[in-house]
């Protein structure tokens, strides 16, 4: 290497040491800089109370086809104004007035307003469990109506035959799901007279429902559930009011089915020497396009109101179809059914009626 070339290289090395650290050295590649992480603003806390108002209404046309001299009428059979309030993260309140037609007393025939639900609910008492206090749903009928969406056609089997005094009562109740989506437990203590009657005495009704989903992870059979319900109450100290129900249910996008057996022991009459034993079975089937769309249904109820009396059983057959429009927070159903009731008692003629009904919910 010549003396001149060595002097040039030494001069270049000395000049490189004089560059500031932020200036890249000769023949060096600058390292890429990482982009700063975006700053996400925290979601604002909700302002309580959060209040939602909704309506459930059943409108119908009924025509008697065999008896009552061809009686037919347009009517409103149910109108609920649902007022739901989220008072805090774990406290809710619901108030629901019910508009219905009175069939007795001085207001017979009038549409009147009465309270159906008025309760406070405390959430997460246990994981996903709640406690309700006030006038609220008892453990069975609200559960069954969540499976059979045709309450617009008429009440569920146990209520229609009078062994449950309505779907709500005054009391305190608790519900908790079972681990792993295997079912749920709901139980409570209630007056026992139903939401339309005041408490008659000091006796209460203890009611409980256990629902088991045996195959929660099965692709097809996760809609299968088995439920048991029992109500232990009293008309008086020596006059029981007992009811037991066992039901199997299956829910699928295109099929809903239930089969249940009901047994009741009652003594509602003062001075009666023996209890009344009642029993019955009911089966329901709905074949449908889905939650929305066309559907066909059939329901068969068989009931013996007193097993000590022969020839007093009855069978109810409901068949028809409907069209449903289901959207978030909205459900509209147009339902047409034929209902027939056949009595073993020869003096009671067969009932046969046509029902055209609309379910509106938002």
pLDDT at 8: 40
pLDDT at 6: 53
pLDDT at 35: 61
pLDDT at 346: 83
93: exposed, middle or buried (C-beta count within 10 Å: 0-12, 13-18, 19+)?
middle
Asked if 250 contacts 223 with a C-beta cutoff of 8 angstroms, the reply is yes
pLDDT at 42: 74
Counting as low any pLDDT under 70, the low residues of the chain are 1-41, 104-109
Domains of the chain are 49-361 (2.40.160.10)
pLDDT at 223: 96
> Percent of the chain scored above 90 by pLDDT?
73
Helix ranges restricted to H, 175-283: none
Q: What is the DSSP letter of 163?
A: S
Helix ranges restricted to H, the chain: 3-17, 141-145, 157-160
């Amino acid at each position: 290497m010549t003396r001149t070339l060595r002097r040039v290289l030494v001069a270049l090395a000395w000049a490189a040491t004089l560059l500031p650290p932020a200036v890249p050295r000769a023949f060096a590649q600058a390292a890429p800089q990482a982009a700063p992480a975006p700053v996400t603003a925290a979601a604002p806390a909700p302002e309580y109370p959060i209040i939602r108002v909704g309506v459930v209404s059943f409108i119908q046309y009924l025509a008697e086809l065999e008896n009552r001299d061809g009686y037919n009428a347009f009517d409103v059979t149910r109108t609920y104004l649902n007022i739901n309030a989220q008072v805090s993260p774990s406290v809710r309140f619901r108030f629901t007035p019910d508009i219905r037609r009175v069939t007795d007393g001085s207001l017979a025939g009038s549409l009147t307003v009465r309270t159906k639900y008025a309760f406070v609910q405390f959430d997460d008492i246990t994981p996903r469990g709640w406690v309700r206090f006030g006038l609220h749903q008892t453990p069975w009928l609200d559960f069954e109506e969540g499976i059979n969406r045709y309450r617009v056609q008429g009440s569920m089997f146990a209520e229609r035959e009078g062994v449950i005094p309505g779907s709500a009562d005054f009391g305190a109740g608790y519900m908790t799901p079972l681990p792993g989506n295997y079912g749920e437990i709901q139980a409570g203590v209630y007056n026992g007279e139903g939401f339309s009657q005041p408490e008659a005495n000091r006796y209460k009704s203890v009611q409980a429902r256990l629902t088991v989903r045996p195959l929660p992870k099965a692709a097809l059979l996760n809609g299968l559930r088995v439920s048991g319900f029992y109500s232990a109450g009293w008309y008086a100290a020596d006059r029981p009011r007992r009811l037991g129900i066992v039901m199997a249910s299956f829910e699928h996008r295109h099929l809903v089915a239930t089969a249940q057996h009901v047994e009741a022991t009652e003594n509602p009459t003062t001075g009666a020497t023996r209890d009344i034993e009642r029993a019955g079975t009911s089966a329901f089937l709905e074949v449908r396009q889905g939650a929305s769309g066309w559907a066909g249904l059939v329901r068969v109820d068989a009931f013996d109101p007193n097993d000590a009396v022969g020839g007093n059983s009855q069978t109810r057959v409901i068949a028809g179809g409907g069209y449903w429009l289901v959207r978030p927070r909205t459900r509209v159903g147009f339902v047409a059914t034929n209902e027939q009731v056949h009595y073993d008692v020869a003096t009671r003629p067969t009932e046969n009626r046509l029902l055209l009904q609309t379910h509106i919910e938002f």
